[in-house]
Amino acid sequence: MSGSGGGGRDEPPSVTAAAPPTAVPLSNLTEDGNSDHVLMSDEYSPEFARIEAFLDEHPDFFQNYLIRKATRSMIDAWLVSYAIPPGTTSLPPPFSPPQQEAAVERESSSAPSSRSGSGGATPVRKISAHEFEKGGLTKPLVTTIDGTPTFLSPPTSSSELTGQIRKKSRTDMLTLNESELILELVKDICNDLDVRSLCHKILQNVGILTYADRCSLFLVGGDPATDSQYLVSNLFDVSSHSTVEEVSKNEIKIPWGSGIVGFVAKTGESCNVSDCYKDSRFNQNVDVMTGYRTRSMMCCPIKDTAGEVIGVAQVINKANDGYFSKNDEMLFEKYLQFCGIGLRNAQIYERSQLEVKRNQVLLDLAGVIFQEQSTLETTIHRILTHMLCLIQCERAMVLLVHEGSTSTFSQTFELSQEDLDNESKGEPKKNAFESRFPMNAGITGYVAATGEIVNLSDPYRDPRFDQSVDENTDFKHSTILAMPIKHSGSPGRVQGVFQLINKFDNLPFTSNDENFVEAFAIFCGMGINNVKMYETAVVAMAKQQVTLEVLSYHAIAPLEEAVKLSRQRIPSASALHLQSFQFDDFSLEDSDTLKAALRMFIDLDLINRFNIDYLTLCRWLSSVRKNYRDVTYHNWKHAFNVCQLMFSIISNTMWWKKLGEIECLALVLACLCHDLDHRGTNNSYQIKSSNSLARLYSTSTMEHHHFDQCLMLLNTSGNQILSNLSQEEFKAVVRVLEDAILATDLALYFKRRKETMTMMKEGVNWQEEKDRSLFRGLMMTACDLGAITKPWPIQQKIAKLVTTEFFHQGDLEKEELKLKPIPMMDREKKDELPSMQVSFIDEICMPVYESLAGASPHLKPMLEGCVENRKHWSELADQENLK
């Protein structure tokens, strides 16, 4: 009870997770136990066969085993193995960095020339959102099984198994029967995953089957839910001798239900026209444009496994001026049944590739946003720059919603394509915070208030659009896309609004654009939120720095005080009785304790060894004394007495030879600073009262604070007594200093007591840092509790001071926290003080001094003093019991 006793919480012992066991490769066996083929194993093993047979017979056990012990890499390997297309034995190796760079160079060189630069400058436009239109992309945000949002699509194989185009002549085909012919043509398309190449093969094979002169294939585009379907063809008028490149230069788009092809797509029924000019559905203008006369035509829908029309194949002009027969129709339809499956697979593969590319684009954009977040304006300028290049529109704006409002804006940022063009010419970069463009308050306010997306293909028809914004200007709003930017931490809360105006080529903003902007807006929300937090942190750090400067000015002792101390004569250690274990704590005034502290530095030769400036040391000691609060016990006087005991131990035992100069210096500094800024309450009270210190440090709360204060003083100008140490010496001193101060937490002492006592019995291994740390911790505990070893009159005085401080904490717990304090701090149980002191000596103090006395006979006076004081406390306890 007479010791300081921080009373912090014990930390649970750390547990190191065992490494996951290595998976043993198993053979893949047939049901009868014979080896079918071997997976991940070079040779067949009968033992593995028995194991796998057992697993096959006990699927519940196997599933439970997987859930408990399967590693992520095992699951990933399983997914990859089932993602590989049939016929592929392994995945192609991933790009190495040089290959990846080459791929980027090829992509960049094949794309139209664009602006260079990165970050705030105009970026290289590697890809535009329009290139994703054919993919029919879904919403970007996917929710995983644990509810976490992600943009990454499920992994897909990157291998493309594209077979060679077979151009068998009609003569070659005559040797095959109908089944062999269909099989031969199906083989030709079954492994092709490139949509354009596959369609070209289908058309050439169709021409072979039907003896047609020209063939075309139209794919269904658009969304059936919104009645926006259409037919599009990149392969028109394919002949048996044409190449993919020759016939895919132009794109033909046909409205849904228009012409013979549109009729077939809409109805899902085949059509055989022997004379097109007699069919009202036929568009004769096509022949006029191409100069090719269409006589006969046969169209057949291509359906997927669900029966949905995904395309229409068209053959024109039977050879030898003939007409397409019923047998042609039958072969045509039979072959296209297989084509539908292959085409759907190719489209799914193409979509997965586009999803991967989109994810790469989004991650690249996210990297641009997060790579430098110095100011809000810089970040948003970078966002607008990349948005203009991605969506290809004339203007882009970001409007930040005013705090506390749902439809008004505090800041508006804007950028135009013209600004980027001027930047590429070397003109000064436009400030994105100039408010040159109208914000369309009706539309942006609606998005901010509702969190809904607004996509207008004709703003003038929408009542929310303010038409006056285009008056007296050369600019007209043709299309508008407004997207909410939501808080990353509160998805339902709108942080700002994206407004994109006038997509290039008079095109409307598509659902694909919406999906891209929506995905990018999520990253932007996080980026804007992070920048705001960063700016707030910068301001807070600046305020903190000013506060620290003010506090340090008042916390540091005046130079005059240090000069005065440096000029005074320092008594010898013998005159001050510094080497005595019976040192009188009350024999010196505060000013004399500073001289005594200087004497300890001098006698341990720390000043000369570490080249410590004497005036700086005087000022540092004065500052340390000034930073101890005027509490009853844990004050400067207590710190000095702890240091005196450490000096006495080191000097009498000669342990400075084993500890070394660095550890001796660190221990002296630790003793003087181990209770810096103590508030007269222990760790437990900081936690119970939810003190700010407890929020900073969950364990050894006050000890961590004492160490931080110590470092603050050591790093303050005019107090840098360690400035002449080398970098290695400084790090070593600070490491030991922290270890020693934290060791004064009795919770840490209890945690390490068994290990420490075992070490003391078996002997200290001075070559092991762990043993040295335990030994230094034991020394710090002995010095911190050293008042229990002093002569009885001194012990009584100190016990009274400790009790007063403890009772003060108990009163605070009762009055402010409405808690019942522990008996040691309960004023109502002061009569139990002697018996509690006996328990304190038996449980905590006695083992410490017995182990030290066993290590050195010079320390027996400390043990004897502890034993003597126990007798006195025991006598008082007996007297209290008799009352």
- Report how far residue 22's alpha carbon sits from residue 459's, in angstroms, rounded to the nearest whole number: 63
- Report how far residue 260's alpha carbon sits from residue 130's, in angstroms, rounded to the nearest whole number: 29
- The percent of the chain in helix, strand and coil, each rounded to the nearest 5, is 55, 10, 35
- Report how far residue 577's alpha carbon sits from residue 82's, in angstroms, rounded to the nearest whole number: 83
- Report how far residue 726's alpha carbon sits from residue 790's, in angstroms, rounded to the nearest whole number: 39
Residue 606, beta-bridge partner list:
none
Cα–Cα distances in angstroms (integers) from residue 871 to residues 118, 841, 865, 874, in the given order: 80, 11, 10, 5
Q: Fill in the amino acid letter for 793.
A: P
- Report how far residue 207's alpha carbon sits from residue 209's, in angstroms, rounded to the nearest whole number: 5
- Report how far residue 383's alpha carbon sits from residue 367's, in angstroms, rounded to the nearest whole number: 11
CA dihedral 320, 321, 327, 328 (to 10 degrees): 90
Cα–Cα distances in angstroms (integers) from residue 861 to residues 125, 575, 600, 638, 841, in the given order: 82, 20, 21, 20, 16
Residue 125's nearest CA partner among 512, 369, 389 is 389
CA-atom Rg of the chain in angstroms: 42
Strand ranges of the sheet holding 393-401, from the earlier edge strand across to the other edge: 409-416, 393-401, 494-503, 480-486, 454-456
Are 840 and 1 a contacting pair, CB within 8 Å? yes
Three-state SS letters, 164-225: CCCCCCHHHHCCCCHHHHHHHHHHHHHCCCCHHHHHHHHHHHHHHHHCEEEEEEEEEECCHH
Are 231 and 324 a contacting pair, CB within 8 Å? no
Are 652 and 780 a contacting pair, CB within 8 Å? no
Three-state SS letters, 645-656: HHHHHHHHHCCH
Q: What token pair was written down for 320?
A: 């030898």
Enter the DSSP assignment of 111.
S
- Report how far residue 16's alpha carbon sits from residue 19's, in angstroms, rounded to the nearest whole number: 9
> Which sign, positive or negative, has the C-alpha torsion 335, 336, 341, 345?
positive
Q: Fill in the amino acid letter for 464.
A: R
Residue 312, beta-bridge partner list:
218, 301
Catalytic positions: 634
Quick one: how far is CA 297 from the chain centroid?
60
Residue 660's nearest CA partner among 732, 599, 579 is 732
- Report how far residue 149's alpha carbon sits from residue 142's, in angstroms, rounded to the nearest whole number: 6
List all residues 6 or more positions away from 157 whose beta carbon is below 8 Å from its beta carbon: 83, 84, 85, 88, 91
Strand ranges of the sheet holding 309-318, from the earlier edge strand across to the other edge: 252-255, 230-238, 212-221, 309-318, 297-303, 271-273
Phi then psi dihedrals of residue 635, to 5 deg: -120, -170
Residue 550's nearest CA partner among 673, 675, 716 is 716
Residue by residue, DSSP assigns 477-500 as ---EEEEEEE-SS-TTSEEEEEEE
- Report how far residue 58's alpha carbon sits from residue 617's, in angstroms, rounded to the nearest whole number: 76
